[in-house]
Amino acid sequence: MTEPAIGRAPAPALALPAAEAARLAELLRDERRRNELIALLDSLAQVAASRAEPAPPPQAEPPLPLPLAPQSLLAQVLLALSNTLGDISSWVIAAVRSANDLPAVVEAGRRFLFDEAVRGRAFDLFWKAMVVLAAGIAVERSLVALLRPARRRIAVAAEGVERYGQRAGLSFARFLVDLIPVIAFAAVSYAVITAIERWPSQRLLLIVANNAYLAARLARAVGRLVFAPEVPQLRLIPMADETAAYCQVWLRRISVWVVTGYAVAEAVLIFGLGQAAHDGLVRFVEFVLMLFLVLIVLQNRAAVAAVIRAPEEARGPWTVARNRLADVWHLLAVAYLVAGWAVSALQISDGYAYLLRFTATTLAVLGAAKLAELVSDRLLGRVLRVEPDLKGRYPGLEGRVNRYTPILRTLIHAAIWATAAVVLLELWGLGAFAWFEQGRLGARVVSALASVLLTLVIALFVWESINSAINRHLEKLSRDAEAARTARVRTLLPMLRTALLFLMIIVVSLIVLNELGVNIAPLLAGAGVIGIAIGFGSQKLVQDVITGIFLLAEDAIAVGDVVNVAGQGGVVEALSIRSIRLRSIDGTVHIVPFSAVTTVSNMTKDFAFAVFDVGVAYGEDTDRVVEVLRAVGAEMRAEPRWANVIREPLEVMGVDRFLDSAVVIRCRFRTNPGSQWAVSREFNRRYKKRFDELGIEIPFPYRKVVVQAEGGRPVSAEAKQAAAIAGAA
């Protein structure tokens, strides 16, 4: 058994050599070094505290179950949205926590300003850093001045050099000349640091400041090697002078900001101001760097887009892809920069490797999807191509196929890109494939889409079958010259199409709602109640529909007829479910509801009569006039143009009535419907011309004026006018 701890002997004191003890005592007696030691111990304590395990966050209460049917698609969609919002909130919380280092930065700044020990160390390091930089810069500037003739000779030698290899050699020679002052600065500054500072932590701070200056000078030298803004003939990359100067300016800004920011962050850590302050400064430097890069992208948006965009004369799918990329490339670049900064700010493990893998897989999947889209377009064009023999047998087949080709192409493209999106989500680690397992949300969505598509295909098949049957019937009627029946079917077709459209919309809507898990029985009951209410409130509309159905069933009116209805006349252009659209002879359109139609006067039904009331003078022989009219009618009917529209010879009914100045003889032609007006105009022209040739007078009303002279002798108006003309002469 072990003895109790209370009875143990005290631990012996650690042995310390006399020299070390004396050195430690001397260190503690020196006030400046004692303060430095205390500051170092404080910084170590803060670093240990910042790296301690954070307290676990409180467990969130489990979400309450949604009051929805668990097997319905709508419930699964809402649950998936809830889980997605929870994940997004977790990411936002993590991003907010990453900003917790900002208060540490503020605290470090406060300590730097108000802590006397820290301020003393900073002042001591400041003048030493100035000494180091002054010595190094003095040597560097001296060498720059000495090497200026060498740089000038290299620039002169590069004039007229056309070979890229020679120009590159001269550029690297100039780069080596630029490096000599930088190397001299490094040698002198490191020597001065070793000479003036022996304390390791302060020497490390001087080295950090020195390295920051060296990094900035090296970045500038590399920029002069690549861009050569001052010597265009030494430029390795072909670009305009303005572009080279622009790149050099931004390289200098970015390099100065980055090296200065990281140097300050390392100095904060060495000063003992805490790991949190160091991390906060690093993230701030990276954030500003990201803003610099975003600004560069936005400044060059138009120039890069012009390079990416395809020429105006180019055609094809790749042209479309290039133009779309030119429109959105800046958005993609900004998103990529923000993602890179987020990887660093959130301290994601292997974040940059994941980002590169994410980019490569995304580009590969998008490229494969685009290739599949092109292949599907070609295959679809071959499959849906109508052969010439089929065109001859079925003239309307190609039109119907072309009608649905864009829709089918759109559906195939949507399926390809939806599949690509699922693959991308799986590759991004979101487990998208698991969504389509039995009973999961993806499987239910696919099932619902399949049901909807199947319903649409069946409805489309029914519609095309009915439409094809109607078209074949119309062609048959046209061959049989049954124009009346053709017009009737052409009138009924739009109404049938409208009814089928409403039926398809209702059926598809009910199926979609049923797939979403909505009980459609209450909807049907509610629709019945609403239908009754609408029926009471729209009796006029119901009357329009019923009257129109009876008018069409009785074949009283059809598209293309010339009718008079409700006091309006014109050609029937269209028949809707509740109204007639007429266009009068002057182009006016009249919309007449069916309920306003009490009488239909159809002037183009089955056949028509061109009726003529021919007036002749009382002195003419009516038998002779009848013979002349018959001869004109026979002559007109003998011509092929009028023989097809005039069905029977001229029917002369005889003397119809007597007027004040004329005897009226009535006759008529039996014509095709709609041809009576053309026949009337032509027959009027012909018999007027024949009457003039034969001297048959067509009387017209006139008045004879007789003037009584002063001597009691009547003088006609003509004689009076002649006398007046003679007197004037």
Residues 220, 353 within the same domain: no
3-state secondary structure of 653: strand
With cut-offs at 50, 70 and 90, classify the pLDDT of residue 218: confident
Minimal CA–CA distance to 146: which of 170, 177, 188? 177
Q: Which of 16-20, 153-157, 363-367, 370-374 has the least mean pLDDT?
A: 16-20
Residue 667: strand, helix, or coil? strand
Alpha carbon dihedral 175, 176, 177, 178, in 10-degree steps, equals: 50
pLDDT of residue 510: 77
**pLDDT value of residue 90:** 55
The answer to whether residue 523 is domain-embedded is no
Does 176 fall in a domain?
yes
H-only helix segments in 384-439: 388-393, 397-427
Q: Over range 267-280, report the average pLDDT.
A: 71
Three-class DSSP category at 591: strand
Give strand ranges (E) for 99-204.
Answer: none
For residues 247 and 368, membership in a common domain is answered with: no
pLDDT at residue 67, as a whole number: 40
Note whether 592 and 580 are within 8 A (CB): yes
Encoded amino acid at 418, one letter: A
Per the domain annotation, does 40 fall within a domain?
Answer: yes
Confidence of residue 60 (pLDDT cuts 50, 70, 90): very low
Helices 116-146, 200-226: inter-axial angle, 10-degree rounding: 40
Q: Is 190 within the bounds of a domain?
A: yes
In a domain, residue 320? The reply is: no
Greater pLDDT, 10 or 232: 232
pLDDT band at 634 (very low <50, low <70, confident <90, very high): very high
Give the pLDDT band of residue 201 (cuts 50, 70, 90).
Answer: low
* CATH code of the domain in which 638 resides: 3.30.70.100
Q: What is the DSSP string of 527-538?
A: HHHHHHHHHHHT
Q: pLDDT grade, residue 668 (50/70/90)?
A: very high
Does the structure show a pLDDT above 60 at 698? Answer: yes
Q: Give the mean pLDDT of the chain.
A: 75
Q: Which of 266, 196, 274, 200 is nearest to 37 (CA)?
A: 200
User: What is the model's pTM?
Assistant: 0.43
- Pure H helices in 560-713: 622-638, 640-643, 676-694
Answer whether residue 155 is part of any domain.
Answer: yes
Is the model more confident about 601 or about 7? 601
Q: What is the sign, positive or negative, of the torsion defined by CA atoms of 13, 14, 19, 25?
A: negative
Best mean pLDDT range from 97-111, 196-210, 383-397, 577-591? 577-591
Domain-ending residue, one of 274, 295, 328: 274
Q: pLDDT-based confidence at 83, cuts 50/70/90?
A: low
The residue type of 616 is: V
Last residue of a domain, one of 436, 464, 494: 436
Q: Number of structural domains, the chain? A: 3
C-alpha to C-alpha distance for 607 and 620, rounded to whole angstroms: 34
The 10 Å Cβ neighbour count of residue 526 is 10
Does some domain include residue 35? yes
124 and 252 together in one domain: yes
- Residue that is last in its domain, among 217, 246, 274: 274
Indicate whether 132 and 270 sit together in one domain: yes
The answer on 375 and 260 residing in a single domain is: no
Residue with the larger pLDDT of the pair 448 and 590: 590
Examine the domain organization and report whether 115 and 214 are in the same domain.
Answer: yes
The percentage of the chain sitting over the pLDDT mark of 70, rounded to a whole number, equals: 68
Please, are residues 658 and 619 in contact by the beta-carbon 8 Å criterion?
no
Domain extent, residue 106, equals: 27-48+99-274
pLDDT tens-digit map of 559-575: 888 999 888 889 988 87
pLDDT of residue 599: 86
**258 shares its domain with 386:** no
pLDDT of residue 414: 86
The crossing angle, in degrees rounded to 10, of helices 520-537 and 539-553 is 90
Examine the domain organization and report whether 270 and 353 are in the same domain: no
Who wins on pLDDT, 115 or 455? 455
Is residue 569 a part of any domain in this protein? no
The verdict on 230 and 104 lying in the same domain is: yes
Q: In this predicted model, which residue has the larger pLDDT, 289 or 206?
A: 289
Other Cβ atoms closer than 10 A to 509: 12
Exposure of 557 by Cβ count < 10 A (0-12 exposed, 13-18 middle, 19+ buried)? buried
pLDDT of 682 reads 92
Length in residues, the chain: 729
Poorest-pLDDT segment among 316-320, 607-611, 710-714: 710-714
Same domain, 33 and 123: yes
- How far is it, in rounded angstroms, from Cα 526 to Cα 645? 58
Q: What is the CA radius of gyration of the chain?
A: 51
Q: 135 and 269, same structural domain? A: yes
DSSP SS3 for 596: helix
Q: Do 383 and 240 sit in the same domain of this protein?
A: no
Give, as one character, the DSSP assignment of residue 646.
Answer: B
What CA–CA distance (Å, rounded) separates 338 from 297?
A: 12
The helix/strand/coil state of 713 is coil
Name the least confident of 105-109, 569-573, 586-590, 678-682: 105-109
